[in-house]
Amino acid sequence: MISYDKIIRRLERRLKGIGCVTQSCEEYSIQGRDGEIDLYGFDFQKKRLFAIEVKQTDYHRNKAIKQLAKDEVYLRRLFFDFEPFSLHLF
């Protein structure tokens, strides 16, 4: 099984390969709720924003979907004019 850190590094390289600036494992608090974004990338030229949640198994699919919804609220405040794309990987 590939480790979580290795998956994040590979995804980060891919995002950078398509011209994105990336940030991983960013913690935030919004409206009294804490969250952590596994990885996100933004493309200034195309105004696209990618939020990625990585889980070891598909068992945590619902947790990932809820986390991505919180991540999107947070990221939209930072990058309000970007088009968001959310991805859940397991």
Domains and CATH numbers, the chain: 4-89 (3.40.1350.10)
Percent of the chain with pLDDT over 70: 96
Label each residue of 1-33 as H, E or C: CCCHHHHHHHHHHHHHHCCCEEEEEEEEEECCE
Q: Which is more confidently placed, 73 or 60?
A: 73
pTM for this structure? 0.81
Q: Which is more confidently placed, 2 or 7?
A: 7
Mean pLDDT of 29-35: 87
Over its C-alpha atoms, the chain yields an Rg (Å, rounded) of 13
The reported pLDDT for the residue numbered 46 is 92
Q: Is the pLDDT of residue 21 over 90?
A: yes
Mean pLDDT of 41-58: 87
